[in-house]
Amino acid sequence: MRNLSGGNLRKTVVGRDLMDGEARILVVANPCVGLDFAATASLHNRLIEMRNRGGAILLVSEDLDELIQLADRIVVMSGGVIAHETRPEELNRALIGSHFGGRPEASDVL
């Protein structure tokens, strides 16, 4: 594995953890960084399958579109505390963006 590129190493590690269907809890951070479109779609499908089997996934991502597609709940942390929580279908991008930036009052202006 030492000779694999970052994207291929990521695919190998995630594939190992998801292949056998035994995982019940998974913590992933920015799982699709460095992956091509096909690998990203495949990984997203595997995460959804795991969730549908009753698995719990903590997805940490800077990609809001990825969070909207995959998450049941979106929690924004700022300064080490939960600053905002919402469901993807209720998401207000301006509000989320202001919390990402640590300035929730900025959403009033947007």
**pLDDT, averaged across the chain:** 81
Token digits of residue 97: 């963006």
Tens of pLDDT along 74-91? 998 888 888 889 999 998
- pLDDT, tens only, 49-58: 889 989 999 9
CA distance 95 to 83: 11
Sign of the Cα pseudo-torsion (97, 36, 69, 84, in order): negative
- 110 pLDDT tier (thresholds 50, 70, 90): very low
Residue 29 is encoded by which pair of tokens? 């951070």
Please check the confidence at residue 60 and state whether its pLDDT lies above 70.
yes
H helices of the chain, in order, are 6-19, 37-52, 64-70, 93-100
- What is this structure's pTM? 0.74
